[in-house]
Amino acid sequence: MAEQHLPERQSPLEPEYHPGSHGNFEHGVDVILSETRPGSILQLAAWPGEEKRLIEIIRKVAGLALPDGAGGGVSSGARAVFGFAPGKFTVVDEAEGLAQAFAGSITPAIGTLTDLSHGRTAIRIAGPKAEWVMAKFFAIDFALPAFPLGAGRSTNHHDVFAQIQRSGADQFDIYVFRSFARSFWKALCHASEEVGYEVQ
């Protein structure tokens, strides 16, 4: 991948990002909150009938094999992908430059590529009470059988649209609009106070 010379990104969470333990943590920290700051966040969309070709391109370019089914996904270390709508996928990479890697493959006949790397903020919640805290925000089933490992969900919290991927048995990655990220983050911190949380 070509070396990138982009300016360093500022986090929209910064004024409210306070590493350390907070809330009710005397008996232990039950969730860990962090900003994962991926270098690339892309949305790929296939025209009707071109979904299989797009899934094959994702496998070739990103090395991620999408499982069958609505909202299916996979999270493997530095990269992740999940379906968020019919024929549409979010692809994430720790490194910058994933859009350039896809640009040659996704022709206008297959679909579209939208680079949202600067438009979304990725927030991770992990720990034994992650499902509990998430359930206070979103009216969807976070239990492992209903929301399997790697799967993605599109939903919203008070009209703040969110894409959620389960990246671990007790870990979720939440993608929100950058412009709403600080407000969402503050709400997430408040909601985590009762269980004790650590910002990393």
Partner 1 sequence: MLITCPYCGPRDVIEFTYQGDGNRERPQPASQNLDAWNAYVYDRLNPAGDHNEIWQHSGGCRAHLRVVRNTITHEILSTAFARGGHKSADNRAEGRS
Residues that bind partner 1 (CB under 8 A): 48, 70-71, 84-86, 88, 139-140, 153-156, 159, 161
Contact present, 138 and 164 (Cβ < 8 Å): yes
Q: How far apart are CA 136 and CA 132, in angstroms?
A: 7
Q: In terms of CB distance, is 53 or 88 closer to partner 1? A: 88
Specify the residue, 36 or 154, whose C-beta has the smaller distance to partner 1: 154
| C-alpha atoms less than 13 angstroms from C-alpha of 13 in its C-beta half-sphere | 24
CA angle at 79 for the pair 148 and 163, rounded to the nearest 5° = 50
Closest separation in Å from C-beta 12 to partner 1: 22
For residues 180 and 197, which CB has a smaller minimum distance to partner 1 in the complex?
Answer: 180
64 touches 79 (CB < 8 A): yes
In which element (H, E) is residue 137 found? Answer: helix 130-137
Name the minimum Å distance from CB 133 to partner 1: 19
What does the alpha-carbon distance between residue 192 and residue 198 come to, in Å, rounded to a whole number?
9
By beta-carbon proximity to partner 1, the closer residue of 120 and 126 is: 120
Q: Find the shortest distance in angstroms from Cβ 198 to partner 1.
A: 31
Q: What minimum distance in Å lies between the beta carbon of 154 and partner 1?
A: 5
Q: How far is the CB of 85 from partner 1 (least distance, A)?
A: 4
Place of tokens 């979904």: 51
Q: Which is nearer to partner 1, 113 or 189 (CB)?
A: 113
Q: How many CB atoms lie within 10 A of CB 63?
A: 11
